Chains A and B, each alone.
Chain A
């Protein structure tokens, strides 16, 4: 039972990492294009990252033992 759980947890972390990484990268690009919109882009970035993180944590709890 443990090995599938560990693999699952790893897959979740990969997925969340790719997701948040893409958000961060795209936000950087957006800030480079429009430096004056820095504040708005950062806020939107944090919110979307938090949403993905929430799902990721919920999934990690599902894989956690007992």
Chain B
């Protein structure tokens, strides 16, 4: 056994055989456990897509039959006639009642409810909990990830700005990676859609939103299992920012296009019947634009997570080496596509925001060209 290649070959061979033998053993009881496993995978995916009050990487059932969770708790911050702060470890992953002073709280489907000391949750006819819900300002998993990303971006781009000042405008280190991306956003997104004159005003927002979405999308693909951009509340907040900036920086020409698109080409009495149809459509368009932004980002990330998790789940359902390795290959390929999608969605959000800013900031002589 002096040849290292031979040793490696034998190692792989024995591992392969032991795996197939174990798989055969598992096959016997697979039929009964299949439906059980299916619901377990389904629950796991549902749990992964939601925000949670603790950062749990995975959980397993030990030899003693007890469930072990690997991860760490996060702070719970509630407003319930006064500030209530405690650690989410008191919930014991939703199994126990957490008490803080006089008050008792319990987790039910990821939401915190105020209960009595025994933790009873009352349900109404539609199976919704009817207990009082205190205002929840907790640092959840998503909030933590947003804070980390914000801090990372502050460090990264702040440091980059300082290094440019020190080296006389020449990129160094990570700057060599980020400079072309930033230049691309400036030249091919901002200048191309907003125009030479006004693009500078929008650059901070465009750069921030691009890197924020891109980094969070990429974090979503790591095994930490954070699904931040696949959360509709966060994409809504981002879209509201675009909506506010578009409409608050709108020029006279922009508003004239909305409420008087035909201009002087017609007498006023001829415009009335047209405007009864046109103006509601234009006004609706103001809201549909950011709405499509938020739905697109949310649905893309959510769908990507579901597909990857389902394919990984299939590996455990098949329990034979052809099916499992096939779904492993598929999960790998989809993961690669998701890396592309993470960049593409950040690009599209930035591009469309810039396009809307371009509409909002157009000047009269530019508008003539349409």
A residues adjacent to B (C-beta < 8 A)? 39, 43, 46-47, 50-51, 53-55, 57-58, 60-61
A25 CA / B332 CA spacing, docked (Å): 27
Contact segment of B75-83, B258-266, B348-356: B348-356
A39-B188, A61-B299 are contacts. A46–B344 as well, Cβ < 8 Å? yes
By a CB distance below 8 angstroms, the chain B residues around A57 are 295-296, 299-300, 303
Q: Does B188 contact A51, Cβ atoms closer than 8 Å?
A: no
Complex-state Cα separation, A36 to B344, whole angstroms: 22
13 contacts between A and B (CB under 8 A): A43-B192, A47-B351, A47-B355, A50-B296, A51-B292, A54-B296, A57-B295, A57-B296, A57-B299, A57-B300, A58-B292, A60-B299, A61-B295
Q: Which residues of A contact B344 (CB under 8 A)?
A: 46
Chain A residues in 8 Å Cβ range of B348: 46-47, 50
Known: A47-B348, A58-B299. 8 other contacts (CB 8 A): A39-B188, A46-B351, A47-B351, A50-B348, A54-B293, A55-B292, A57-B295, A58-B292
Bound form: Cα–Cα A39–B189 in Å: 12
Question: Are B188 and A47 in contact, with the CB atoms below 8 A?
Answer: no
A55 to B292, CA, bound (A): 7
Question: Are A54 and B295 closer than 8 Å at their CB atoms?
Answer: yes
Contact A43 B296 (CB under 8 A): no
B113 adjacent to chain A (CB < 8 Å): no
How many Å from the CB of B185 to the closest CB on chain A? 12
Most buried by A among B192, B295, B347, B355: B295
Q: How far is the CA of A57 from the CA of B302 in the complex (A)?
A: 11
Q: How far is the CB of A30 from chain B (nearest CB, A)?
A: 18
Nearest CB of chain B from residue A13's CB, rounded to whole Å = 11
Chain A residues with CB under 8 A of B351 = 43, 46-47
Closest to B192 in A: A43
Q: Which residues of B contact A58 (CB under 8 A)?
A: 292, 295, 299
| Interface positions of B from 10 to 55, Cβ below 8 Å from A | none
* Cα of A54 to Cα of B348 in the assembled complex, Å: 11
Residues of chain B within 8 A of A43, CB atoms compared:
188, 192, 351
B-chain residues with CB within 8 Å of residue A46 when the two chains form the complex: 344, 347-348, 351
0/1 interface trace, chain B 299-312, chain A, CB 8 Å (1 if under): 11001000000000
A55 and B293 CA atoms in complex are apart in Å by 10
Within 8 A of A (CB), among B181-202: 188, 192
**Contact between B352 and A47, CB atoms less than 8 A apart:** yes
List CB contacts (< 8 Å) of B155-203 with chain A.
188, 192
With beta carbons under 8 angstroms apart, the residue of B188, B303, B352 that contacts A50 is B352
Interface centre among A43, A57, A58 (most CB of B within 10 A): A57
A56 to chain B, nearest CB (A): 9
Q: A55 contacts which chain B residues (CB < 8 A)?
A: 292
- Measured in the bound complex, the distance between the Cα atoms of B295 and A58 in whole Å is 7
Instruction: Compute how far the CA of A57 lies from the CA of B348 in the bound complex, rounded to whole angstroms.
Output: 15
Which residues on B sit within 8 Å (CB–CB) of A39?
Answer: 188
- Cα A51 to Cα B303 in complex, Å, equals 17
Bound CA span A47–B347, Å: 10
